[in-house]
Amino acid sequence: MMKILVPVKRVIDYNVKIRVNSEGSAVETNNVKMSMNPFDEIAVEEAVRLKEAGLAEEIIIVSIGDKGSQETIRTAFAMGGDRGVHIVNDLNTEPLVVAKILKNLIEKETIDIVIMGKQAIDDDSNQTGQMLAALLDWPQATFASKLELNDNQIKVIREIDGGLETLNVKLPCIVTTDLRLNEPRYASLPNIMKAKKKEIIEIPIEETGVDFSSRLEVLKVEEPEIRSGGRKVEDVNELISVLKNEVGVI
Ligand code: AMP
Protein backbone atom coordinates (compact mmCIF):
# COMPACT_ATOMS: atom_id res chain seq x y z
CA MET A 1 0.00 0.00 0.00
CA MET A 2 1.04 3.50 -0.79
CA LYS A 3 2.66 5.96 1.54
CA ILE A 4 2.19 9.61 0.62
CA LEU A 5 4.33 12.50 1.84
CA VAL A 6 2.87 16.01 1.85
CA PRO A 7 5.26 18.89 2.66
CA VAL A 8 3.36 21.92 3.97
CA LYS A 9 4.75 25.41 4.50
CA ARG A 10 3.45 27.98 6.96
CA VAL A 11 3.15 31.32 5.18
CA ILE A 12 1.41 34.66 5.66
CA ASP A 13 -2.31 34.12 5.14
CA TYR A 14 -3.27 34.94 1.56
CA ASN A 15 -5.86 37.50 2.75
CA VAL A 16 -3.34 39.61 4.66
CA LYS A 17 -2.13 42.84 3.14
CA ILE A 18 1.64 42.42 3.03
CA ARG A 19 3.90 45.04 4.67
CA VAL A 20 7.66 45.39 4.32
CA ASN A 21 9.55 45.59 7.65
CA SER A 22 11.18 48.82 8.75
CA GLU A 23 14.68 47.63 7.76
CA GLY A 24 13.49 46.87 4.20
CA SER A 25 15.00 43.40 4.54
CA ALA A 26 11.91 41.18 4.56
CA VAL A 27 8.14 41.07 4.72
CA GLU A 28 6.79 41.80 8.23
CA THR A 29 5.59 38.60 9.89
CA ASN A 30 5.20 39.83 13.48
CA ASN A 31 1.57 39.84 14.59
CA VAL A 32 0.45 38.73 11.14
CA LYS A 33 -2.00 35.88 10.56
CA MET A 34 -0.19 32.79 9.28
CA SER A 35 -1.80 29.83 7.49
CA MET A 36 -0.93 26.79 5.45
CA ASN A 37 0.29 27.66 1.95
CA PRO A 38 -2.89 27.37 -0.19
CA PHE A 39 -1.30 25.01 -2.75
CA ASP A 40 -0.26 22.73 0.12
CA GLU A 41 -3.85 22.59 1.37
CA ILE A 42 -4.76 21.34 -2.09
CA ALA A 43 -1.97 18.75 -1.81
CA VAL A 44 -3.24 17.53 1.57
CA GLU A 45 -6.80 17.32 0.21
CA GLU A 46 -5.67 15.25 -2.78
CA ALA A 47 -3.71 12.85 -0.55
CA VAL A 48 -6.72 12.44 1.75
CA ARG A 49 -8.97 11.70 -1.24
CA LEU A 50 -6.57 8.96 -2.40
CA LYS A 51 -6.62 7.48 1.09
CA GLU A 52 -10.42 7.67 1.29
CA ALA A 53 -10.61 5.89 -2.07
CA GLY A 54 -8.59 3.06 -0.53
CA LEU A 55 -5.59 3.75 -2.76
CA ALA A 56 -3.21 4.95 -0.06
CA GLU A 57 -2.48 3.76 3.42
CA GLU A 58 -0.70 6.55 5.23
CA ILE A 59 -0.23 10.29 4.82
CA ILE A 60 2.85 11.82 6.40
CA ILE A 61 2.95 15.59 6.80
CA VAL A 62 6.24 17.46 7.01
CA SER A 63 6.92 21.12 7.66
CA ILE A 64 10.18 23.01 7.98
CA GLY A 65 9.89 26.20 9.96
CA ASP A 66 9.57 27.81 13.39
CA LYS A 67 7.44 26.44 16.21
CA GLY A 68 4.26 27.81 14.59
CA SER A 69 4.67 25.14 11.91
CA GLN A 70 3.27 22.61 14.40
CA GLU A 71 -0.09 24.34 14.11
CA THR A 72 0.10 24.01 10.33
CA ILE A 73 0.88 20.30 10.65
CA ARG A 74 -2.14 19.93 12.98
CA THR A 75 -4.34 21.67 10.40
CA ALA A 76 -3.21 19.02 7.91
CA PHE A 77 -4.00 16.34 10.51
CA ALA A 78 -7.51 17.73 10.93
CA MET A 79 -7.99 17.33 7.17
CA GLY A 80 -6.84 13.70 7.32
CA GLY A 81 -3.04 13.54 7.64
CA ASP A 82 -1.84 10.67 9.85
CA ARG A 83 1.46 11.68 11.41
CA GLY A 84 3.92 14.52 11.19
CA VAL A 85 7.53 15.58 11.12
CA HIS A 86 8.52 19.09 12.13
CA ILE A 87 12.00 20.20 11.13
CA VAL A 88 12.70 23.19 13.34
CA ASN A 89 14.31 26.23 11.74
CA ASP A 90 13.43 29.74 12.90
CA LEU A 91 14.65 31.26 9.65
CA ASN A 92 13.13 30.80 6.21
CA THR A 93 14.61 27.69 4.61
CA GLU A 94 15.53 28.07 0.96
CA PRO A 95 14.20 25.61 -1.66
CA LEU A 96 17.41 23.60 -2.20
CA VAL A 97 17.77 22.99 1.53
CA VAL A 98 14.07 22.03 1.81
CA ALA A 99 14.52 19.62 -1.12
CA LYS A 100 17.61 17.99 0.47
CA ILE A 101 15.83 17.55 3.81
CA LEU A 102 12.80 16.06 2.06
CA LYS A 103 15.05 13.69 0.09
CA ASN A 104 16.54 12.29 3.32
CA LEU A 105 13.13 11.86 4.87
CA ILE A 106 11.74 10.15 1.76
CA GLU A 107 14.59 7.65 1.72
CA LYS A 108 14.12 6.90 5.42
CA GLU A 109 10.35 6.50 5.19
CA THR A 110 10.22 4.77 1.77
CA ILE A 111 7.63 7.08 0.31
CA ASP A 112 5.76 6.22 -2.92
CA ILE A 113 4.23 9.57 -3.84
CA VAL A 114 5.07 13.13 -2.84
CA ILE A 115 2.23 15.60 -3.37
CA MET A 116 3.27 19.18 -2.75
CA GLY A 117 2.39 22.74 -3.72
CA LYS A 118 3.62 24.14 -7.03
CA GLN A 119 4.82 27.18 -5.11
CA ALA A 120 4.84 28.79 -1.70
CA ILE A 121 3.01 32.11 -1.91
CA ASP A 122 5.51 33.92 0.33
CA ASP A 123 8.55 33.91 -1.92
CA ASP A 124 6.97 32.34 -5.03
CA SER A 125 10.07 30.27 -5.71
CA ASN A 126 8.39 27.39 -7.58
CA GLN A 127 11.58 25.34 -7.19
CA THR A 128 11.30 22.79 -4.40
CA GLY A 129 9.34 20.06 -6.21
CA GLN A 130 11.53 20.23 -9.28
CA MET A 131 14.75 20.18 -7.25
CA LEU A 132 13.49 17.25 -5.20
CA ALA A 133 12.68 15.26 -8.35
CA ALA A 134 16.19 15.95 -9.65
CA LEU A 135 17.89 14.99 -6.36
CA LEU A 136 15.94 11.72 -6.14
CA ASP A 137 16.07 11.08 -9.90
CA TRP A 138 12.28 10.53 -9.78
CA PRO A 139 9.75 11.50 -12.44
CA GLN A 140 7.73 14.62 -11.75
CA ALA A 141 4.38 15.98 -12.89
CA THR A 142 4.14 19.64 -12.02
CA PHE A 143 1.07 21.93 -11.90
CA ALA A 144 -1.44 19.07 -11.73
CA SER A 145 -5.06 20.04 -12.29
CA LYS A 146 -6.32 16.43 -12.25
CA LEU A 147 -4.79 13.26 -10.94
CA GLU A 148 -5.64 9.57 -11.28
CA LEU A 149 -3.72 6.82 -9.52
CA ASN A 150 -3.78 3.39 -11.21
CA ASP A 151 -1.59 0.55 -10.00
CA ASN A 152 1.92 1.76 -10.30
CA GLN A 153 1.41 4.99 -12.15
CA ILE A 154 -0.31 8.33 -11.94
CA LYS A 155 -2.06 10.07 -14.80
CA VAL A 156 -1.81 13.82 -14.40
CA ILE A 157 -3.58 16.49 -16.41
CA ARG A 158 -1.87 19.87 -16.61
CA GLU A 159 -3.25 23.14 -17.89
CA ILE A 160 -0.80 24.52 -20.40
CA ASP A 161 -1.01 27.49 -22.76
CA GLY A 162 -2.62 25.69 -25.67
CA GLY A 163 -4.94 23.36 -23.74
CA LEU A 164 -4.55 20.30 -21.54
CA GLU A 165 -1.52 18.06 -21.37
CA THR A 166 -1.81 14.50 -20.04
CA LEU A 167 1.22 12.83 -18.51
CA ASN A 168 1.74 9.33 -17.13
CA VAL A 169 4.38 9.08 -14.42
CA LYS A 170 5.58 5.86 -12.83
CA LEU A 171 5.79 5.62 -9.06
CA PRO A 172 7.66 6.68 -7.04
CA CYS A 173 7.10 10.25 -8.24
CA ILE A 174 6.58 13.89 -7.33
CA VAL A 175 3.35 15.71 -8.13
CA THR A 176 2.93 19.45 -7.60
CA THR A 177 -0.54 20.92 -7.30
CA ASP A 178 -2.23 23.69 -9.25
CA LEU A 179 -5.24 25.69 -8.10
CA ARG A 180 -7.97 23.73 -9.87
CA LEU A 181 -6.97 20.25 -8.67
CA ASN A 182 -9.62 20.26 -5.94
CA GLU A 183 -11.35 22.35 -3.29
CA PRO A 184 -9.84 21.62 0.11
CA ARG A 185 -12.31 20.63 2.81
CA TYR A 186 -12.93 22.46 6.06
CA ALA A 187 -11.93 20.36 9.02
CA SER A 188 -14.82 19.25 11.24
CA LEU A 189 -14.68 19.86 14.99
CA PRO A 190 -14.29 16.15 15.87
CA ASN A 191 -11.41 15.92 13.39
CA ILE A 192 -9.77 19.01 14.89
CA MET A 193 -10.03 17.33 18.32
CA LYS A 194 -8.58 14.07 16.98
CA ALA A 195 -5.75 16.01 15.33
CA LYS A 196 -4.47 17.06 18.74
CA LYS A 197 -3.59 13.46 19.58
CA LYS A 198 -1.66 12.62 16.41
CA GLU A 199 2.10 12.30 16.63
CA ILE A 200 4.59 14.95 15.51
CA ILE A 201 8.30 14.14 15.62
CA GLU A 202 10.43 17.25 16.11
CA ILE A 203 13.92 17.42 14.61
CA PRO A 204 16.16 20.51 14.85
CA ILE A 205 17.51 21.41 11.39
CA GLU A 206 21.05 21.04 12.79
CA GLU A 207 20.38 17.33 13.27
CA THR A 208 19.24 16.61 9.70
CA GLY A 209 22.80 16.33 8.39
CA VAL A 210 21.94 18.80 5.61
CA ASP A 211 24.04 21.93 5.08
CA PHE A 212 21.39 24.59 5.63
CA SER A 213 23.57 27.66 5.13
CA SER A 214 22.07 30.17 2.69
CA ARG A 215 23.17 30.32 -0.92
CA LEU A 216 20.73 33.11 -1.59
CA GLU A 217 21.12 36.60 -0.21
CA VAL A 218 18.17 39.00 -0.12
CA LEU A 219 19.54 42.42 -0.95
CA LYS A 220 16.42 44.51 -0.51
CA VAL A 221 12.65 44.20 -0.17
CA GLU A 222 10.51 47.10 -1.35
CA GLU A 223 6.84 48.00 -1.43
CA PRO A 224 5.45 48.29 -4.97
CA GLU A 225 5.16 51.85 -6.21
CA ILE A 226 1.88 53.42 -5.17
CA ARG A 227 -0.32 53.94 -8.21
CA SER A 228 -1.77 57.40 -8.73
CA GLY A 229 -5.56 57.46 -8.84
CA GLY A 230 -7.57 57.53 -12.05
CA ARG A 231 -10.16 60.11 -12.98
CA LYS A 232 -13.39 60.18 -14.96
CA VAL A 233 -13.78 62.20 -18.12
CA GLU A 234 -17.12 63.50 -19.44
CA ASP A 235 -16.97 62.35 -23.05
CA VAL A 236 -14.79 61.13 -25.91
CA ASN A 237 -13.73 64.64 -26.83
CA GLU A 238 -12.37 65.28 -23.35
CA LEU A 239 -10.68 61.85 -23.36
CA ILE A 240 -8.88 62.65 -26.60
CA SER A 241 -7.88 66.06 -25.37
CA VAL A 242 -6.50 64.61 -22.10
CA LEU A 243 -4.59 61.85 -23.93
CA LYS A 244 -3.15 64.45 -26.33
CA ASN A 245 -2.42 67.38 -24.08
CA GLU A 246 -1.90 65.95 -20.59
CA VAL A 247 -0.72 62.37 -20.97
CA GLY A 248 0.92 62.93 -24.34
CA VAL A 249 0.31 59.47 -25.73
CA ILE A 250 -1.51 60.43 -28.95
P1 AMP B 1 8.63 26.84 -3.33
O2 AMP B 1 9.58 26.09 -4.21
O3 AMP B 1 9.31 27.52 -2.16
O4 AMP B 1 7.74 27.79 -4.10
O5 AMP B 1 7.66 25.76 -2.62
C6 AMP B 1 7.02 24.73 -3.34
C7 AMP B 1 6.46 23.71 -2.37
O8 AMP B 1 7.51 23.12 -1.61
C9 AMP B 1 5.50 24.25 -1.31
O10 AMP B 1 4.18 24.37 -1.83
C11 AMP B 1 5.60 23.17 -0.23
O12 AMP B 1 4.84 22.02 -0.58
C13 AMP B 1 7.08 22.80 -0.29
N14 AMP B 1 7.85 23.61 0.68
C15 AMP B 1 8.59 24.72 0.45
N16 AMP B 1 9.13 25.19 1.59
C17 AMP B 1 8.72 24.36 2.59
C18 AMP B 1 8.92 24.29 4.00
N19 AMP B 1 9.66 25.21 4.65
N20 AMP B 1 8.33 23.28 4.69
C21 AMP B 1 7.58 22.36 4.05
N22 AMP B 1 7.35 22.37 2.73
C23 AMP B 1 7.90 23.34 2.00
Q: Which among 98, 130, 140, 177 is the best mutation to test ligand 1's pocket, defined by most ligand atoms within 8 Å of the CB? A: 98
In contact, 145 and 46? CB cutoff 8 Å:
no
pLDDT of 227 reads 85
CA–CA separation, 159 and 232 (whole Å): 39
Tell me how far CA of residue 229 lies from CA of 30, 160, 226, 232, 241, in angstroms.
Answer: 30, 35, 9, 10, 19
Please give the number of the atom of ligand 1 that sits closest to the Cα of 127: 2
Q: Are strands 173-177 and 113-117 parallel, antiparallel or unpaired?
A: parallel
pLDDT at 47: 98
Nearest atom, ligand 1, residue 119 CA: 4
User: Is there a contact between 44 and 184 (Cβ–Cβ < 8 Å)?
Assistant: yes
In this prediction, residue 102 carries a pLDDT of: 98
CATH architecture of the region 2-247: 3-Layer(aba) Sandwich (3.40)
- Ligand 1 atom at shortest distance from the alpha carbon of 131: 2
Are 25 and 221 in contact by the 8 Å Cβ rule? The answer is yes
CA of 132 to the centre of ligand 1 (A): 11
**240: helix, coil or strand?**
helix
Ligand 1 pocket, residues with Cβ under 6 angstroms: 7-9, 37, 39-40, 62-65, 93, 95, 98, 116-117, 119-120, 125-129
Contact 79, 184 (CB under 8 A): yes
Question: CA 112, CA 92: separation in Å to the nearest integer?
Answer: 27
Each domain of the chain, given as residue ranges in start order, spans: 2-247
Q: Average pLDDT by consecutive 10-residue portion of the chain (250 residues)?
A: 96 94 90 97 98 97 98 98 98 96 97 98 95 98 97 95 96 98 96 97 97 92 87 94 90
What is the predicted pLDDT for the residue at 228? 83
